[in-house]
Amino acid sequence: YGLSQYKFRAGSFNEDARGRWYFNVVVDAELERPSGQESIGIDLGLKDTATCSDGSKLEAGRFYRNLEPKLAVAQRARKKKRVKAIHAKIANRRKDALHKFSHELVNRCGEIYVGNVKSSSLTKTKMAKSVLDAGWHMLKTMLDYKCAHAGIVFKEVNESYTTQTCSSCGSRPDSRPKGIAGLGIREWTCSACGVTHDRDVNAAKNILAAGHGRLAVGIPH
C-alpha cells in the first residue's frame, strides 16, 4: 500500500457494524494547495443532499436506493446480521460519496459557503430518517477540516429566506414557495422579474451572496 514512505504518528482500531476490524493511522504528508478560485454556495436538502450555486448536485438516494429491497427482505426475515451488514454498506457508500463530493469542491474552489440548517433540530421530527440519510453534518464536517487543511474559506451563513428570495432581482414575490405547503415545489417563476428558478439552485445562489455580504440579494435579517 506504499505506507513505508510515510512517517506514522498515531493509530487506532475500530470495528464496524459487520464485525470487520480496521486499523486507522495518521501519517505526515506534504500539504498540496489547490489552485481553484471558484466561489460556491451550497444548499442542503432532502431530495438532494447538496445543491451548489453552479447547478451541480449530490443526490441523496444514491447511497441506498438499490439496497432498500434487500434491506426490507432481511428485516422481514429478522436476519439481524444481514440487516447490520446492509446498514454498514449504506453508511460506507454515503461516506465515500461525501468524501468525493467535498474533495472535488475543495480542489476547485477558493471560497465555500453553506446554509446553517441544523440536522440535530430536524432529527426529532418526521423527517428524521431523511435527514440522517442525507448526511448533512458529515458533509459540513468534511468541508470544514478539508478547507482548513487547504487554506481556503469555509463559512456557514444564515439561510433564512434563501429559498423564498429571487436570486435575480432580490425580491420575495407572491409566486415564491412558502412554508410546509411549498416543500414540494421544485421550480418556480418570479412574478416580479419573470426568471424561472430551480428551487435549490436559487437558494444556493442566495447562500453564496449572503456569504459575500451582498445587500443586493435582498435577504432580510
Residue 124 cell numbers, joined: 426529532
Residue 40, pLDDT score: 95
What pTM, to 2 d.p., does this model score? 0.77
Q: Domain check: are 147 and 170 in the same one?
A: no
Residue with the three cell numbers 459487520: 18
Q: Domain check: are 80 and 105 in the same one?
A: yes
Residue 75, pLDDT score: 87
Indicate whether 6 belongs to any domain: no
Indicate whether 79 belongs to any domain: yes
Residue 197, pLDDT score: 92
Residue 62, pLDDT score: 65
Indicate whether 3 belongs to any domain: no
Q: Which of 157, 177, 192 is the last residue of a domain?
A: 157
Alpha-carbon distance of 184 to 85, in angstroms, equals: 33
Q: Domain check: are 97 and 188 in the same one?
A: no
Q: Which of 123, 142, 157 is the last residue of a domain?
A: 157
Q: Please provide residue 49's backbone torsions phi and psi, each rounded to the nearest 5 degrees.
A: -55, -45
Kindly write down the DSSP assignment for every residue of 111-164, as one continuous string.
EEEEE---HHHHTTSTTHHHHHHHTHHHHHHHHHHHHHHHT-EEEEE--TTTTT
Residue 131 cell numbers, joined: 435527514
Indicate whether 10 belongs to any domain: no
Q: Is 81 helix (H, G, I), strand (E, B) or coil?
A: helix
Indicate whether 75 belongs to any domain: yes
Q: Please provide residue 72's backbone torsions phi and psi, each rounded to the nearest 5 degrees.
A: -65, -40
Indicate whether 83 belongs to any domain: yes
Residue 218, pLDDT score: 44
**For residue 107, what are the β-bridge partners?**
none
Residue 124, pLDDT score: 56
Tally of domains in the chain:
2
pLDDT < 70 regions, the chain: 1, 31, 61-63, 119-134, 179-183, 214-221
Instruction: Please give the residue range of the domain that contains residue 93.
Output: 36-157
For residue 62, CA distances in Å to 14, 91, 93 come to 26, 12, 9
Q: Domain check: are 148 and 209 in the same one?
A: no
CA 216 from chain centre, in angstroms, equals: 26
Residue 91, pLDDT score: 84
Indicate whether 113 belongs to any domain: yes
Q: Domain check: are 177 and 139 in the same one?
A: no
Q: Which residues contact 80 (CB under 8 A, 6 or more apart)?
A: none
- Let me know the angle formed at the C-alpha of 124 by 118 and 128, rounded to the nearest 5 degrees: 80
Q: Domain check: are 173 and 150 in the same one?
A: no
Q: Which residues contact 146 (CB under 8 A, 6 or more apart)?
A: 102, 103, 106
Alpha-carbon distance of 158 to 50, in angstroms, equals: 16
Residue 142, pLDDT score: 95
Indicate whether 67 belongs to any domain: yes
Q: What length does the chain have?
A: 221
- Name the helix (H) or strand (E) containing 78: none
Which residue in 195, 41, 54 sits closest to 112, CA to CA? Answer: 41
